[in-house]
Amino acid sequence: MRYGENDRESRNVEDRRGRSVRGFPFPGGGGQIRIPVGRRGGGLSLTTLIILGALMLLFGINPLDLLQGGPGGGLPDFGREIQLPRGGQPWDRQGIELPGRGEQSATRNDDEIKRFVSRVLADTEDVWSAVFARAGRTYEEPKLVLFTGAVETHCGLGAAQVGPFYCPLDRKVYIDLSFFDELVRRFKAPGDFAQAYVLAHEVGHHVQTLLGITEKVQQLKARLPEREANQVQVRMELQADCLAGVWAKLTDEANNRLEPGEIEEGLNAASRIGDDTLQRQMTGRVVPDAFTHGTSAQRVRWFRRGFKSGEMQACDTFNAESL
């Protein structure tokens, strides 16, 4: 992606890398079971946390549900309960103006990855602030928390093994930057824009929270059995993919951010982290009823749809007959 020395870095980055944490959340009984992390004082190592995460998956527990207030127990009419702002003025993209970009830097420093995500976050702030302002609303900028291994949040304790995530209770995005290495090594999804897509997806969840969609989804899931709750969650995740595509379109139109081939990087990343692809890699089989994020094809389709239109109205996954 094209970033220069004059492109601003977001001030909403909290660097908690290297800090210790106090506990690990488990389902049932409310609250957390406090388990120390690290070798000092007899605590559990991060390897042990990985094993715990694997056991959760083995017993059908989605680690992300621990962070997002998991599903509770006839599929509803999504469109009647959960809606994006309607099309046309003032929520379309016409007339949105964004700050210009600086000159491209020819060199990279030792902490370039932190600078990169700070600049991507700044771009999301510019885009969504402009979109919300056009609708007469104020965009509340989320915080981005960088952590190592595990991190305490208002949604419980998050481990790097679940990947980047968003906590609606504190309105913060959390990421262990080592995940970007995983994108390359494990998921075969290299490139700057693959990384930017991951962050933009989590910011998409923040947009959903500001619009009241997250709360409605959680309320709806609490009334449904697990299978139907998972279907609702899939629609929410695909909408965040679509919103990431909207962001990519608007920031590129304003600042010429994307290099040739970078949209393909984002599409590749989306395809590599679809539920069907991940399940096949982990277990050798695909269980559609356990999907929570959508198939590879669905994630690609909705990101592409957001990018092609550049408008939130294209991302109405809850009214879509087919995903």
Q: Tokens at residue 218, please?
A: 């959680």
Lowest average pLDDT, out of 26-30, 58-62, 134-138, 200-204, goes to 26-30
| CA–CA gap between residue 263 and residue 248 (Å, rounded) | 9
pLDDT of 277:
58
Write the pLDDT tens digit of every residue in 249-287: 999 999 999 888 877 876 776 666 665 555 555 666 655
Over pLDDT 90: what percentage of the chain? 39
For tokens 């209770």, the residue is 169
Average of pLDDT values for 101-121?
A: 67
Nearest to 139 by CA among 247, 56, 60, 224: 247
Q: Tokens at residue 174, please?
A: 């959390």
| CA–CA gap between residue 296 and residue 140 (Å, rounded) | 31
- 102 versus 190: the higher-pLDDT residue is 190
Label the pairing between strands 150-153 and 13-15: unpaired
Task: Rounding to the nearest 10 degrees, give the CA dihedral for residues 51, 235, 287, 203.
Answer: -30
Dihedral sign for Cα atoms in the order 274, 277, 282, 283: positive
Let me know: does 166 contact 155? Beta carbons within 8 Å. no
**Local confidence band at 188 (pLDDT 50, 70, 90 cut-offs):** confident
| CA–CA gap between residue 71 and residue 316 (Å, rounded) | 22
Q: Tokens at residue 86, please?
A: 């309607």
pLDDT of 282:
65
For tokens 């960088």, the residue is 146
- H-helix or E-strand spanning residue 15: strand 13-15
Write the pLDDT tens digit of every residue in 60-105: 444 444 444 333 333 334 445 566 666 555 656 665 665 554 444 3
**Does pLDDT of 201 surpass 70?**
yes
Q: Tokens at residue 206, please?
A: 């923040």
Average of pLDDT values for 238-254?
A: 94
96 vs 127, 237, 239, 254, CA distance in Å?
8, 26, 21, 9
Residues in the chain: 323
3-state secondary structure of 323: coil
| CA–CA gap between residue 203 and residue 269 (Å, rounded) | 16
Write the pLDDT tens digit of every residue in 48-64: 444 445 444 444 444 44
Tabulate helix, strand, coil % of the chain (nearest 5): 50, 10, 40
Label the pairing between strands 172-175 and 143-146: parallel
pLDDT of 100:
55
pLDDT of 83:
66
**Does pLDDT of 232 surpass 60?**
yes
For tokens 């040739």, the residue is 260
The β-bridge partners of 146 are 15, 175
Task: Rounding to the nearest 10 degrees, give the CA dihedral for residues 181, 16, 273, 262.
Answer: -60
**Local confidence band at 44 (pLDDT 50, 70, 90 cut-offs):** very low
Largest CA distance in the chain: 59
